[in-house]
């Protein structure tokens, strides 16, 4: 059964509407009734009766067959399908093929031993490594004379997530060293490796209808992001409104004055009251703006943010914010001629982290004094669950109520929470915990 959130509220279905106990009770009742009909005598089967044991065995066999039939029935539903059954569903939804594992990649800076005195070549398959994980060049690269360094994107030699997560500056071993190369070092965190699960494939199938067109729907871009990489956990898509603003400087009675005015695009107006603007003419059909001023202008800037832009903020699994190379590759994928409308300008951006801390005291009910150690451990786990919940989706408000609920469910009687404070986040922000302070203050009477 899938764990993807998109199907969480889909109703459960089953062919089985009974239990082994109910079936056994009905079988015993039917046998006793039929025995009375056939013999004219009443009978009560006891649990140790041979016939009762025989009926019990038969009922278990029937239930096993019902469960097998129920399983096969559910394998035709996307919510429950797995393995080959899921592949068959994918084949009927626009031939959605199960995604294969992908290799991680990382930019590596090769620093030479001074400026090259002649043209050199880094051959295809040249390797660097860290902790017995290897990355290699995917093609030969010719480097002209005079260069002192070059940065290349290398690919992990193994598929899957093994190559993910190596922070900048940690990949420094040049396995296949070349005498004219002084050092190697990764400039970004290695990312992009995936080991797709049934849940990843289920999400891909589920989102396929949304991806038939990107002529507007937000969900279509989200579907395309999941198609690009199964390593993506969440995606936020926004389309900023058109904006026009004017800022200018002039000499006033008491020195230089700086003013700024926003254009009301909806009403095609500018509020010029108590400003240096005496009159204006605005034609948004051709984006023309003529201004007349009371005092001479020293400088002026007009800022225009056009529509048709699509900002996309991906979040990788384990709440990892992707870096430059991953963002660039995703942007190129989404900007393909067959991928987006000509009117859209796609920008793939990194989420902004909004930091918060956790700081609270808690008490345990004296009735639970024998379970203090267990509850303390449960509280620590509850805090970790809160941190995970808070950061596994972008734009999720920092909410202490969720923390309180988790800690109380873990066994705490009462909390005094100093942090976090409630904070509203935009869709392009991701909560990040920077510090945790938990203090157990003892037992309290109910």
Q: Which of 171, 198, 175, 5 is nearest to 83 (CA)?
A: 198
Together in a domain, 404 and 424: yes
CB 230 within 8 A of CB 204: yes
> Which 3 state secondary structure label does DSSP give 126?
coil
Cβ burial of 373 (10 Å; 0-12, 13-18, 19+) is: exposed
Strand order in the sheet with 297-305: 255-262, 243-252, 297-305
Q: Which of 32, 71, 67 is nearest to 52 (CA)?
A: 32
Together in a domain, 212 and 313: yes
**pLDDT at residue 211 is higher than 70:** no
> Which 3 state secondary structure label does DSSP give 72?
helix
Q: What is the pLDDT of residue 223?
A: 85
Together in a domain, 58 and 179: no
Looking at the domain assignment, is residue 163 inside a domain? Answer: yes
Together in a domain, 256 and 234: no
Together in a domain, 38 and 58: yes
Looking at the domain assignment, is residue 379 inside a domain? Answer: yes
**pLDDT at residue 369 is higher than 70:** yes
Taking the mean position of all CA atoms in its chain, how far away is CA 416? 32
Q: Give tens-digit pLDDT for 72-117.
A: 999 999 989 999 999 898 888 877 889 899 999 999 999 999 999 9
> Which 3 state secondary structure label does DSSP give 370?
helix
Q: Give tens-digit pLDDT for 254-312.
A: 889 999 988 887 788 888 888 888 898 888 777 788 888 989 998 888 887 766 788 99
**Between β-strands 352-365 and 429-444, what pairing exists: parallel, antiparallel or unpaired?**
parallel
Task: Give the up-direction half-sphere exposure of residue 80: CA atoms within 13 A in the CB hemisphere.
Answer: 12
* Domain limits for position 158: 103-186
Q: Pseudo-torsion of CA 344, 345, 346, 351, nearest 10°? A: -120
How many domains does the chain divide into?
Answer: 5
Q: Which of 16, 49, 80 is a domain's end point? A: 80
Taking the CA atoms of the chain, what radius of gyration do you get in angstroms?
33
Together in a domain, 203 and 343: yes
Together in a domain, 372 and 387: yes
Together in a domain, 277 and 331: no
- Beta-strand ranges (E) seen in 180-325 are 181-186, 232-238, 243-252, 255-262, 277-283, 288-293, 297-305, 309-316
Together in a domain, 228 and 321: yes
Provide mean pLDDT across the span 389-398. Answer: 96
Looking at the domain assignment, is residue 398 inside a domain? Answer: yes
Looking at the domain assignment, is residue 424 inside a domain? Answer: yes
Q: What is the pLDDT of residue 155?
A: 96
- 276 φ, ψ to 5°? -80, -5
421/401 Cα distance (integer angstroms): 10
> Which 3 state secondary structure label does DSSP give 343?
coil
> Which 3 state secondary structure label does DSSP give 414?
strand
Together in a domain, 231 and 330: yes
Provide mean pLDDT across the span 328-355. Answer: 85
CB 396 within 8 A of CB 423: no
The overall average pLDDT reported for the chain is 90
**3-state secondary structure string across 162-196:** HHCCCCCCCCCECCCCCCCEEEEEECCCCECCECC
Looking at the domain assignment, is residue 133 inside a domain? Answer: yes
What is the pTM (predicted TM-score) of this model? 0.71
Looking at the domain assignment, is residue 85 inside a domain? Answer: no
> Both tokens of residue 372?
């203090």
Together in a domain, 134 and 28: no
Looking at the domain assignment, is residue 39 inside a domain? Answer: yes
Together in a domain, 263 and 232: no
Q: What is the pLDDT of residue 356?
A: 97
Taking the mean position of all CA atoms in its chain, how far away is CA 244? 33
420/394 Cα distance (integer angstroms): 17
Looking at the domain assignment, is residue 91 inside a domain? Answer: no
């Amino acid at each position: 059964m899938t764990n993807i959130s998109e199907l969480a509220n889909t109703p459960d279905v089953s062919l089985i509407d009974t239990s082994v106990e109910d079936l056994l009770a009905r079988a015993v009742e039917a046998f006793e009734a039929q025995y009375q009909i056939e013999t004219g005598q009443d009978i009560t089967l006891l649990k140790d009766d041979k016939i009762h044991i025989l009926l019990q065995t038969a009922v278990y066999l029937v239930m096993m067959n019902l469960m097998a039939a129920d399983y096969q029935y559910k394998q035709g539903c996307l919510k429950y399908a797995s393995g080959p059954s899921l592949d068959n569903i994918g084949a009927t939804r626009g031939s959605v093929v199960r995604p294969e594992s992908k290799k991680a990649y990382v930019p590596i800076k090769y620093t030479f031993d001074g400026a090259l005195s002649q043209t050199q070549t880094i051959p295809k398959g040249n390797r660097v490594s860290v902790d017995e994980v290897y990355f290699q060049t995917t093609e030969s690269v010719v480097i002209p004379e005079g260069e002192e360094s070059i940065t290349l994107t290398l690919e992990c030699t193994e598929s899957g997530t093994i190559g993910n997560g190596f922070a900048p500056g940690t990949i420094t071993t040049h396995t296949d060293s070349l005498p004219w190369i002084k050092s190697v070092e990764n400039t970004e965190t290695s990312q992009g490796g995936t080991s797709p699960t049934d849940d990843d494939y289920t999400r891909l199938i589920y989102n396929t209808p949304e991806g038939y067109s990107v002529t507007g729907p937000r969900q279509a871009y989200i579907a395309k992001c999941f198609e690009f990489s199964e390593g993506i956990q969440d995606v936020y898509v926004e389309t900023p409104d058109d904006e026009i603003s004017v800022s200018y400087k002039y000499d006033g009675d008491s020195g230089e004055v700086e003013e700024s005015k926003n254009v009301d695009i909806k009403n095609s107006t500018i509020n010029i009251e108590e400003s240096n603007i005496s009159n204006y003419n605005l034609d948004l059909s051709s984006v023309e703006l003529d201004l007349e001023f009371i005092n001479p202008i020293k400088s002026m800037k007009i800022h225009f943010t056009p529509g048709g832009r699509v900002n996309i903020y991906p979040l990788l699994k384990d709440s990892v914010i992707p870096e430059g190379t991953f963002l660039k590759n995703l942007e190129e994928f989404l900007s393909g001629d067959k991928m987006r409308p000509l009117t859209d300008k796609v920008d793939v951006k990194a989420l902004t982290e909004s930091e918060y801390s956790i700081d609270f005291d808690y008490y345990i009910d004296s009735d639970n004094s024998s379970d203090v150690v267990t509850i303390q451990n449960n509280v620590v786990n509850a805090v970790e669950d809160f941190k995970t919940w808070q950061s596994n989706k972008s734009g999720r408000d920092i909410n202490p109520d969720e923390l309180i609920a988790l800690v109380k469910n873990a066994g705490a009687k009462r909390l005094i929470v100093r942090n976090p404070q409630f904070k509203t986040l935009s869709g392009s922000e991701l909560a990040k915990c920077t510090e945790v302070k938990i203090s157990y203050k003892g037992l309290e009477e109910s």
